[in-house]
Amino acid sequence: MKFPSPVSLQWMAAFLGAELMGDKNDMATGINELHKVEKGDLAFVDHPKYYDTCINSAASFIIINKVVPYPEGKALLIVDQPFEAYLKIVNHFRPFEPAVKSVSDSAVIGEGTYIYPGSFVGHHVVIGKNCMIHPNVSILDYTIIGNNVVIQAGTVIGSDAFYYNTKKDREVWYKRMQSCGRVVIEDDVEIGAGCTIDRGVTSDTVIGRGTKMDNMIHIGHDTFVGKNCLFAAQVGIAGAVNIGDGVILWGQVGVSKTLSIGDNAVVLAQSGVPSSLEGNKTYFGYPADDAAKKRREVVWIKRIPELWKKVMESGGS
């Protein structure tokens, strides 16, 4: 999430009740979680396991619960509970705004766009020209939609990320990281019925231009989908995945988190993707691998009873 304008670290330290170490005259431009941080961003860390990763990330300013060595040009904001500091920042810059009508007065709707009765358009949404929003679609706050986009009935755009801060030493182990990111849907995208696209935790979930999605598809938080992709029904994609241009995922493909799929890759139906895949290849199975190789494996697996019988008949033990 980018702040409306840069914020001084001195103001931020006072706001959070933090001890400030480093360049006290610097300015923060936003707050992001580690997968999406950029120069000028605040990040937060509350577990020693991730101290080094956070300190050495692109983030310029670290909200942390312990004094640790840090590189020149960065600053630390020391607080007891970095996660609570994160929530305080989000609630300040993206406060809850109750909805009072089905299409918010702050939404911007382009010429030629038609929104069916029963749909909901939240605050600060932008929808481009010549879009078709079918019944019972929910387009939640801060979503950006381009031109010539079709969204079929019952789809939800911009639902909160499935993303939790985990602590085993408190009564509630899983505490929601409040989502302050967006969904950005580019021009000429078509989204089927009953799909769900989560907003980024602190950044954007992006659906690239010309991508087409069938029914009952889930896209997780902070995932980037390239241009002209094709996803068949019941595809599920976890958070912070990077999918290249021209990728085809056939029905019921499952994609794990924080991985990449290269341009023009094809993943055949009911495959599982637990790790990154190169582009320009066809994949099948779990774990997804070269489709021709997987088919040969299936043939040999089917022959195991026959081969075992031959071994036994030849006196094997």
User: Where do the domains of the chain lie, and which CATH numbers do they carry?
Assistant: 2-93 (3.40.1390.10), 108-291 (2.160.10.10)
Q: Which carries the bigger pLDDT value, residue 49 or residue 140?
A: 140
In 113-139, which positions are buried (b, 16+ CB within 10 angstroms) versus exposed (e)? bebeeebbbbbebbbbeebbbbebbbb
Q: Identify the active-site residue in 124, 134, 218, 221.
A: 221
User: For the chain, first and last CA: distance in Å?
Assistant: 65
What pLDDT was estimated at residue 303? 86
In the chain, % of residues over pLDDT 90: 82
Split at pLDDT 50, 70, 90, the class of 19 is very high
What pLDDT was estimated at residue 24? 84
- Is the pLDDT score of 250 beyond 60? yes
What pLDDT was estimated at residue 317? 55
What pLDDT was estimated at residue 297? 87
In this prediction, residues 41-53 reach a mean pLDDT of 91
What pLDDT was estimated at residue 124? 97
- Is the pLDDT score of 97 beyond 70? yes
Q: Which carries the bigger pLDDT value, residue 34 or residue 178?
A: 178
Q: Is 171 exposed, middle or buried (0-12, 13-18, 19+ CB in 10 A)?
A: exposed
What pLDDT was estimated at residue 205? 98
Tokens encoding 8? 């001084």
What pLDDT was estimated at residue 165? 83
> Catalytic site residue 221?
yes
What pLDDT was estimated at residue 223? 97
In this prediction, residues 132-141 reach a mean pLDDT of 98
- Rounded to a whole number of angstroms, the CA Rg of the chain reads 23
**Per-residue CA distances from 289 to 241, 268, 283 (Å):** 18, 10, 5
Q: What is the pLDDT of residues 192-241, one digit of tens each?
A: 999 999 999 999 999 999 999 999 999 999 999 999 999 999 999 999 99
Helices 9-16, 82-93: crossing angle, 10 deg rounding: 110
In this prediction, residues 1-30 reach a mean pLDDT of 94
What pLDDT was estimated at residue 310? 85
Split at pLDDT 50, 70, 90, the class of 307 is confident
- Is the pLDDT score of 88 beyond 60? yes
What pLDDT was estimated at residue 316? 58
Q: Round to whole Å and give the CA distance between 137 and 147.
A: 17
Please, how many CA atoms are within 13 Å of residue 284, restricted to the half-sphere of its CB? 11
Q: What is the pLDDT of residues 261-272, one digit of tens each?
A: 999 999 999 999
- Is the pLDDT score of 55 beyond 60? yes
